Structure 1
Amino acid sequence: MYGFVTPSYTYGQANASPEELYGTLFKDVQNSHIFPDSKTFVDSIPLEDPLLIIERYHREKDGPDFEIAAFVDKYFKLAGHIVSEFQTDTSISTSEHIKRLWSVLTRQPENQERGGSLIPLPFPYVVPGGRFREIYYWDSYFTMLGLRESGRVELIESMINNFAYLIDNFGFIPTANRTYYLSRSQPPFFSLMVRLFSEMEGKKILKRYLPQMQREYDYWMDAGPNPAEPFQPHRRLVHLPDGAVLNRYWDDKATPRPESYREDLEHAEVALHKFKAPADAVFRHIRAAAESGWDFSSRWFEDETDFTSIHTTDILPVDLNCLMYHLEQTLSEAYRLNDALPISKIYEEKAQQRAASIQKYFWDEGKNYYMDYDFKKQNFTKSVTLAGTFPLFFKLASKSNSHYVRGYIRLNFLKSGGLLTTTVRSGQQWDAPNGWAPLQWIAYKGLRNYNFHRTANELSAEWLGLIDKEFKHSGKMLEKYNVSDTNLVAGGGEYEIQEGFGWTNGIYLRMKNRKS
């Protein structure tokens, strides 16, 4: 389909993750603290054949004058931050600045880097910015919203084709096009990307990408070889007592993340001491939270203030299941357009059943809000989050439920700079006081779907005003913002705040043009 082949190499698999490729050298570098960000080394490019570098490392590492930092500097080229050298002009409007940024954030098709972790893609794509030098899955949908406002339809098509390429080659869309992400995905927004493109190019687009949407659905819905008991999980699927199925986040590996290797080892050590938690279980929960995109949030913790109480794979997330509902709906329509009416009917019924399950398992009548569901405890989790607005975005909420959700937005989430992510101050970046562009859009569009225009316009004014204020102050578009105190920058997380920034740019332009 694409006329593009990833080359193979004599030293081993082209798609080997850095910890698999470099072994002891990888572990020693990541544990040495020579880089403040563990992603630095896994994104580096070897300057010689990796086998030769490994051989020299083992020959030299026990020498009296050996320094690992000097060795890495000699044999590896480190990737720089994107946008760091771009000169901003704060005299222009934020919208004009974003339009200039698109070319800075755009990457052209590349060849395989010898021994590097980047998976080459056949078409141009937009990256988020900062330390994120690759195409990220769920980020890209929100970036595309802004590309559409900028008239960059060809770039939207290129990015969708890249995701189709990844599905064709790997069976799913990884978090990003890096070898160390090949065991997990991200929130499944591919069907929304296809819908967005079809709004510009017609319904034929749904038919064009039907094979890839079907394959992604099969990835998320892998039920395993054996019949399952109620509340029995298999990978990303959980069976329910009424015969329905819902999805959770998962990762096919239970080891430290290569891009956060040292941090994950430290968390596992604390969890073992505190809770006697097996390291592999902790790693799996951490990786599953990374697949959610909310890395990290008290949403995934038993104790909202304690990272090591993370239990992501026990949780059925409301937002993920709303996205799967959309995928089922889109598959139904695509098969209908293909005159495959029996299959279309099957997916229509799957979507209807999931809609009923979303109401049954995620609507907490005690709180009158959509909550995540802990299927191990068979009860709602404690964390009240903006994920509860996804049923409004997908028009799954009843009118009465939508009024309650709007009330939560006004009373618990809406601040002077937009919407909080959660109501908890845990020190994690996907918690208060931070706000994130994708969740602003989901809530905003959800409010408008139910004609809560006054609240939606308030949200839009606060969020856009904060972005304009920060741009005039620093000349930057940021990954996340402090929406509670707009004079302070956002904090938390495993790395410094990043600038660029793909989804912030996209949502700004879309909301600016759609706010009335």
Structure 2
Amino acid sequence: MYGFVAPSYTYGQAHASPEELFGSLFKDVQNSHIFKDSKTFADAIPLEDPLLIIECYHREKDEPGFDISAFVEKYFRQPTHIVSHFQTDMSMSPAEHIKRLWNVLTRQPESQERGGSLIPLPFPYVVPGGRFREIYYWDSYFTMLGLKESGRVDLIENMVSNFAYLIDKFGFIPTANRTYYLSRSQPPFFSLMVRIYSEMEGKKVLKKYLPQLQKEYDYWMDAGSSEPEPFTAYRRIVYLPDGAVLNRYWDDKAVPRPESYREDVELATAAFEKFGTTPDLVYRHIRAAAESGWDFSSRWFSDETDFTSIHTTDIIPIDLNCLMYHLEQTLAEGYLLSDSLHMHRIYDEKARSRAAAIETYFWDASRHFYMDYDFKKQDFTKAITLAGTFPLFFKLASKSNSHYVRAYIRLNFLKSGGLLTTTIKTGQQWDAPNGWAPLQWIAYKGLRNYNFHRTANELCAEWLGLIEKEFRHSGKMLEKYNVSDTNLTAGGGEYEIQEGFGWTNGIYLRMKNKRK
């Protein structure tokens, strides 16, 4: 289908994660604090056959005066940051700057490194920027919104085809095209990407990618041999009363993430000391939160101020299930276009059933807002977050519910620079005071869907104003912004604020054009 063959590696482990490939060397490097960012070594390129490097390490490490930093420098090439050498022309507007930046953020198949953790792809693709040198799953949808505004049909087609390639190769779309992401996905936006492409090329696109849409659905709905007992779960599905089946985030591994190895070990140690939680359970919760894209947020904590109380896999997220509803709708339409009426009816009914379950399990009548659901406690979680706006984006909310959500947005989330992600400040990057482009767009479009144009326009003006203010100051498009105090930069998280930045660029162009 693609006319592309991924290169084979001499050591025969083309898709081995770096911690699997390098074993104790990998752990020793990550624990040695050589790199400020753990992702650096996970992305490093071995300059010799890994087996030879491992052999040299075990031979040399116990010798007097051994320097692990010098060893790494000798045998590995460090990855570079994307956009780090790009010079901004301050005479340009942000929109003109972004159109120049698309080519800087685009990676070509022939330029992809070989031998490291990167999984080569057959077509060019846009990366977010900074430390994010690979194609990220949910980022790419929001990037595509801007590519469409720039008329870059070529890149949209290439990126959709790359994701189809990943689905065909692995059965799902990993977080990004790195071997260490092959145990988890990200919010399933593939059906929305196919929709964007179909808006440009026609409904035939839905038929073309129907096999991959089906494979993605099968991945998220894998039930194995589990028994459908209410309030039990298997991988990414959760069984509820009355036959309802909803989805949660999950990861098939329960070990530290290679790209955040040291941080995960430290958190698991603290959680065990505080609560007696076993490390494997903590790692699973951390990885599941990473699959959500909200890494990290008090949304996933039982104690909103305490990271060690993370319990992601107990939670059924509202946004994920809205995305799965859209995937079911898209499958239903794809099968109708393919004259598969039986399959059309099956997925149409699945979408209807999920819509009903969303209203049952996520609408909190006491708070008048859409909440995540803790199926272990059989109750709503405490976190009030922008994820509660997803039902408006997908037109799932009733008219009365939509009015309550709009009121929440105005009273609790809307600040001088846009929308907060959550209502509390914890030091996590997906909490106050930070705002993120994808969630601004979801809320903005959701408000427009229900004709709350005044609130949508206010949000749009505040968000675009903040981006333009930062651009005039630094010449940069950033990954996230402080929306509460627009004189301060965003913070929190496991790494420094990144510039580039794919989804900010995309949403800026889309919102800017929609305002006109």
Q: TM-score range by the shorter chain?
A: over 0.9
Q: Unaligned stretches of 5+ in structure 2? A: none
**What is the CA distance between 1:115 and its match in structure 2?**
3.0
Displacement, 1:113? 4.2
Say if 1:420 and 1:432, in contact at 8 Å, map to a contact too: yes
Aligned to 1:257: 257
Equivalent position of 1:163 in the other structure: 163
Superposed CA offset, 1:156-203 (max 9, x none): 000000000000000000000000000000000000000011011110
Q: Secondary structure at the match of 2:246?
A: strand
Aligned equivalents of 1:3, 1:22: Cα separation in 2: 32
Q: 1:475 to 1:503 in 2, by over 3 A?
A: same
Deviations 1:336-383 (A, max 9, x none): 000000110000000000000000000000100000000000000000
Query: 1:355 corresponds to which residue?
Result: 355
Deviation at 1:225, TM superposition (A): 1.0
1:425: which partner in 2? 425
In structure 2, give the amino acid aligned to 1:279. P
Residue 512 of structure 2 corresponds to which residue in structure 1?
A: 512
- 1:23 maps to 2:11: no
Task: Describe the SS at the equivalent of 1:246.
Answer: strand
Q: Where does residue 190 of structure 1 map in the other structure?
A: 190
CA-CA distance at 1:40 after TM superposition: 0.2
Give, in angstroms, the shift of residue 111 of structure 1: 7.2
Q: Match of 1:170, as an amino acid?
A: F
- Assess if the C-alpha contact under 8 Å between 2:226 and 2:234 holds in 1: no
Q: Is the 8 A contact 1:271 1:277 kept in 2?
A: yes
Q: How many angstroms apart in 1 are the aligned matches of 2:339 and 2:163?
A: 25
Tell me what 1:470 maps to. Answer: 470
Task: Output the CA distance in 2 between the equivalents of 1:182 and 1:281.
Answer: 19
Summarize the alignment of residues 363-378 of structure 1 with structure 2, pairs less than 5 Å apart.
363-378=363-378
Offset, 1:252 = 0.2
Calculate the TM-score normalised by the size of structure 1. 0.99
Deviations 1:57-92 (A, max 9, x none): 000001111100000001100011111100001221
Q: Which residue pairs with 1:289 in the alignment?
A: 289
Shift of 1:8: 2.4
1:242 is paired with a residue whose SS is helix
Q: Deviations over 1:460-483 (max 9, x none)?
A: 000000000000000000000000
Aligned counterparts of 1:144 and 1:10: Cα–Cα separation in 2: 36
The letter for the 1-side match of 2:155 is: L
After superposition, residues 120-131 of structure 1 pair within 5 angstroms as: 120-131=120-131
Post-superposition Cα deviations, 1:438-476, rounded to whole Å, max 9, x if no partner, equal 000000000000000000000000000000000000000
Partner of residue 389, structure 2: 389
Deviation at 1:6, TM superposition (A): 1.7
Query: What's the C-alpha RMSD, in Å, of the aligned pairs?
Result: 0.8
Contact 1:49 1:114 in 2 (8 A): no
Match of 1:346 in 2: 346
Amino acid at match of 1:301: F
Question: After alignment, is 12-21 or 117-126 more displaced?
Answer: 12-21
Measured against aligned partners, the alpha-carbon deviations of 1:97-154 in whole angstroms (never above 9, x if no partner) come to 0001001000001477443000000000000000000000000000000000000001
> What pairs up with 1:63-142 in 2 under 5 angstroms?
63-110=63-110, 113-142=113-142
SS in 2 for 1:432: coil
Aligned residue number for residue 52 of structure 1: 52
Other structure's SS at 2:485 match: coil
Structure 1 consecutive aligned stretches of length 4 or more whose deviation exceeds 6 Å: none
User: What is the alpha-carbon distance in structure 2 between the residues aligned to residue 133 and residue 10 of structure 1?
Assistant: 24
- Post-superposition Cα deviations, 1:295-329, rounded to whole Å, max 9, x if no partner, equal 00000000011000000000000000000000000
Letter of the 2:137 counterpart: Y
Shift of 1:226: 3.2
In 2, distance between residues paired with 1:266 and 1:491?
20
SS in 2 for 1:435: strand
CA distance in structure 2 between the aligned counterparts of 1:80 and 1:115, rounded to whole angstroms: 16
- Cα drift, residue 12 of structure 1: 2.8
Q: Conserved in 2, the CA contact under 8 Å of 1:135 and 1:177?
A: yes
Percent identity reads: 82
Residue 80 of structure 1 aligns with an amino acid whose one-letter code is T
Structure 1 unaligned regions, length at least 5: none
- Per the alignment, residue 416 of structure 1 pairs with 416
How big is the shift at 1:3?
Answer: 1.2
CA distance in 2, matches of 1:123, 1:335: 27
Residue type at the aligned position of 2:359: Q
Hey, what does 2:220 align to over in structure 1?
Answer: 220
Task: Give the aligned residue type for 2:459.
Answer: L
